[in-house]
Amino acid sequence: MKLDILRRKIAVAVLMLGPLAALAPVAPTPAAAAGNPIVTENQQPGSDAWLIGPQQGDDGTGQIKGYASATSVLQNQSLTLYVTVNPVQTYTIDVYRIGWYNGAGSRLRLHDGPLQGTQQSPCPVDATTGLIACGWSPSYTLTIPSDWTTGIYMALLTNAAGYQNYIIFVVRDGRPAAFRYQQSVSTYEAYNNYPNDGATGKSLYSFNSSGGQSVI
């Protein structure tokens, strides 16, 4: 998936919430805040360090890439991250919750590293369907703390050379709610043409696919 495009989509979603946040009271009453964990969360100090810098890892070289064992996870459950670096070097993980945070766009919830990285094996390609499924070894397991507010989280991977990439996941708490946000994971995957190296990657669309036609 083109992470720069996805990053812009999420950033736009955050910015679209800005005018709504501006209409809300600057300092919600304690009762209102206690009844809405999102209100409480967005009063926390924010950070714009979630934005990828000028060195984003690409699919051709694979300076640093990764994926998660699940697209969403409950609080107190475990999530495994699968990471590859090229060449072999250390890397860090910074997990941010995406939100308003007075315009900063995120809140840092976890920093870990440097961690010893490995170069994972190439992902096999199904010659009939074009499906690419990576079977990498686990790199990092995170148990989601109970105080992590529900929402979209980005694990920012940074290797020792300064190259960066995202792993995106959702944290849920299982409680009933009047409103539900549905993340368009199926759409992300429909356009996912990893590896976008001009020779191998294939999505469900011809404009960004290499090789023969995809089988749907």
- Residue 11 confidence (pLDDT): 43
What is residue 177's predicted lDDT score, i.e. its pLDDT?
80
The two structure tokens encoding residue 164:
């960066």
For residue 66, which of 56, 53, 77 has the smallest C-alpha distance?
Answer: 56
Question: Average per-residue pLDDT in the chain?
Answer: 85
User: Which pLDDT belongs to residue 36?
Assistant: 85
Least confident of 37-46, 104-113, 203-212: 203-212
Full-model pTM: 0.81
- What whole-number percentage of the chain has pLDDT above 90? 63
pLDDT digits (tens, 9 = 90+) for 138-187: 999 999 999 999 999 999 999 999 999 999 999 999 888 888 888 899 99
Cis peptide before 195 (omega within 30 of 0): yes
Distance CA 156, CA 148 (A): 17
Please provide the CATH number assigned to the domain covering 3-208.
2.60.40.1930
Give the pLDDT confidence of 37-67 residue by residue, as tens digits: 899 999 999 999 999 999 999 999 999 999 9
> 53: burial class by Cβ within 10 Å (0-12, 13-18, 19+)?
exposed
* pLDDT for the residue 19: 35
CA distance 38 to 17: 12
The first and second tokens of residue 52, run together, are 């990828």
Specify the pLDDT at position 215. 60
